[in-house]
Amino acid sequence: MRRTKSQYQALVENFPEGGVFLFDETSQYTLAGGQALSEVGLTPSDVEGSTPHDLFPAEIAKELSQYYRRALAGERHMFEQKYRGNHYRIRTLPVRDESGAVISGMAVSQNITEQKQRVRRLERLEQVIENLPVGVFRTKESGEIVDMNEKVREMCAIPEGTGRGLDARSLYVDSTKREELLDQLRQEGKVEGTPVAIETLEGERRWGQVTATLIEKDGERYLDGIVRDVTEQRRRKRKLERQNDLFERAQEIASVGAWEYDIRKGKLRLTDQAYRNHGLDPSEAMTLERSHALYHPEHRSDAQEAFRRAVEDGESYDLEVRLTTEDGDERWIRIRGEPQLEEGDIVRVRGTLQDITERKR
């Protein structure tokens, strides 16, 4: 045993970030040392000659004694314990003589508190990334996908457990778009909100906005970024554009324009057809005063009074009046106004403006 102690003395005294302990068949410590001792307020002399039950709380001592007995039986084990707010990884193993007989046991303890904290931080960060409403990804400069979150899988229809190693270029509808992205990254260091068209692994076309940066790690360059799925917004926008186009065509066919007056802002807005019904170009500035000035003198006061009652009293109106354009062209207009309320207050008046000249002739 003396030879064993002397053989391990240097290791025990210089073991970094942990502790080394030799123990006999009674679980009594015969040698102890290492930085871990001072962390828990112990010295080698406090430990040597004591057993786990002399030094530690009952539950910890009980577990240590169990593993010590296994080490003395020739077994190797590794386990973790928490003591005084720190986490320790402990390895127990037999110490043998030249003949292979077990003559004592050894326990090597390492403080893994910081490692545990790093793991927890990474786990929390990973959870945050997984729950983000945008896709997060890393690819090699060559295009190989290194990592991605669930949102990227969902957007690109990539099955769970696959995707790493997939060439990101295969997901672009136009493969040259990624090269353009890379060129911009090399020149400017980042891209923000760049639109891309994506074809999923199921063949569906989707649209995204990419924000990314180029980084270097271990001698290799990577593209780190996020992608926001704007497919639904794009579809809604296109649908609205089609509806607006249809609305504009319907206005032209029926010679009906729409208008809105925002009472709080004092601002009048007209559709293109409403401008044309006034004899004006849609690019021109329009005010309430300019609109009223175009009404024929015989009908101007009626139109102004109807508008006043709509603004002040919330009364709707429907009038047929004559209008004289600034070019002197006289036409008949049917004008309708409908007050709009918010929380009981009249905030705007909306209506239509229809050219009924042909009907009046």
Q: Domain check: are 205 and 259 in the same one?
A: no
* Domain that includes residue 87, residue range: 2-114
Angle at 185 between CA 183 and CA 188, to 5 degrees: 105
Q: Domain check: are 268 and 299 in the same one?
A: yes
Residue 274 CA to residue 259 CA, distance in Å, equals: 7
39 pairs with which residues across the strands?
A: none
Q: Domain check: are 101 and 202 in the same one?
A: no
Q: Assess whether pLDDT exceeds 60 at residue 275.
A: yes
- Tell me whether residue 126 is in a domain: no
CB 164 within 8 A of CB 138: no
| Model confidence pLDDT, tens digit, residues 137-162 | 888 988 898 888 888 888 888 888 77
**CA torsion 10→14→17→20, rounded to 10°?**
20
What is the per-residue pLDDT for 162? 79
- Tell me whether residue 248 is in a domain: no
Angle at 178 between CA 176 and CA 179, to 5 degrees: 65
Q: In a 10 Å sphere around its CB, with 0-12 CB exposed, 13-18 middle and 19+ buried, how is residue 352 labelled?
A: buried
Two structure tokens written together for 217 = 């790690």
DSSP assignments along 98-164, one per residue: TTS-EEEEEEEEEE-HHHHHHHHHHHHHHHHHHH-SSEEEEEETTSBEEEE-HHHHHHHTPPTT--T
Q: Domain check: are 205 and 285 in the same one?
A: no
CB 338 within 8 A of CB 330: no
Q: Which tops the pLDDT comparison, 336 or 118?
A: 336
Q: Assess whether pLDDT exceeds 90 at residue 219.
A: no
E-assigned strand segments in the chain: 18-23, 29-33, 77-83, 86-96, 102-111, 135-140, 145-148, 190-199, 205-217, 220-229, 256-262, 267-270, 317-324, 330-342, 345-355
| Model confidence pLDDT, tens digit, residues 171-187 | 888 878 888 888 888 88
- Tell me whether residue 301 is in a domain: yes
Helix, coil or strand: residue 70: helix
What is the per-residue pLDDT for 122? 72
- Tell me whether residue 240 is in a domain: no
CB 239 within 8 A of CB 325: no
Q: Which tops the pLDDT comparison, 163 or 72?
A: 72
> Given 58, 85, 114, which residue is the final one in a domain?
114
Q: Domain check: are 107 and 187 in the same one?
A: no
Q: Domain check: are 9 and 48 in the same one?
A: yes
Q: Domain check: are 258 and 320 in the same one?
A: yes
Q: Domain check: are 276 and 350 in the same one?
A: yes
Two structure tokens written together for 254 = 């029926």
Q: Which tops the pLDDT comparison, 43 or 161?
A: 43
Q: Domain check: are 229 and 137 in the same one?
A: yes
- Tell me whether residue 239 is in a domain: no
Helix, coil or strand: residue 361: coil
Residue 238 CA to residue 246 CA, distance in Å, equals: 12
| Model confidence pLDDT, tens digit, residues 303-326 | 999 999 999 999 999 999 999 988
Give me the mean pLDDT over the 89-113 stretch.
91
Q: Domain check: are 9 and 104 in the same one?
A: yes
CA 311 to chain CA centroid, Å, is 45
Q: Domain check: are 10 and 103 in the same one?
A: yes
CB 130 within 8 A of CB 150: yes
Q: Which of 309, 311, 294, 265 is nearest to 353 (CA)?
A: 294
- Count of domains observed in the chain: 3
Two structure tokens written together for 319 = 């009038």
CATH code of residue 145: 3.30.450.20
Two structure tokens written together for 91 = 């390895």
Give me the mean pLDDT over the 190-205 stretch.
89
Angle at 355 between CA 351 and CA 359, to 5 degrees: 125
Q: Assess whether pLDDT exceeds 90 at residue 102.
A: yes
- Tell me whether residue 107 is in a domain: yes
- Tell me whether residue 269 is in a domain: yes
What is the per-residue pLDDT for 13? 60
93 pairs with which residues across the strands?
A: 106
What is the per-residue pLDDT for 5? 55
Q: Which tops the pLDDT comparison, 145 or 7?
A: 145
> Given 204, 233, 262, which residue is the final one in a domain?
233
As a whole-number percent, the residues of the chain with pLDDT over 90 amount to 34
Give me the mean pLDDT over the 208-236 stretch.
88
What is the per-residue pLDDT for 249? 61
Q: Residue 224: CB partners within 8 Å, gap ≥ 6?
A: 137, 138, 212, 213, 214, 215
- Tell me whether residue 124 is in a domain: no
What mean pLDDT, rounded, does the chain reach? 86
Two structure tokens written together for 133 = 């409403």
Q: Assess whether pLDDT exceeds 70 at residue 251.
A: no
Q: Domain check: are 97 and 159 in the same one?
A: no
> Given 199, 233, 267, which residue is the final one in a domain?
233
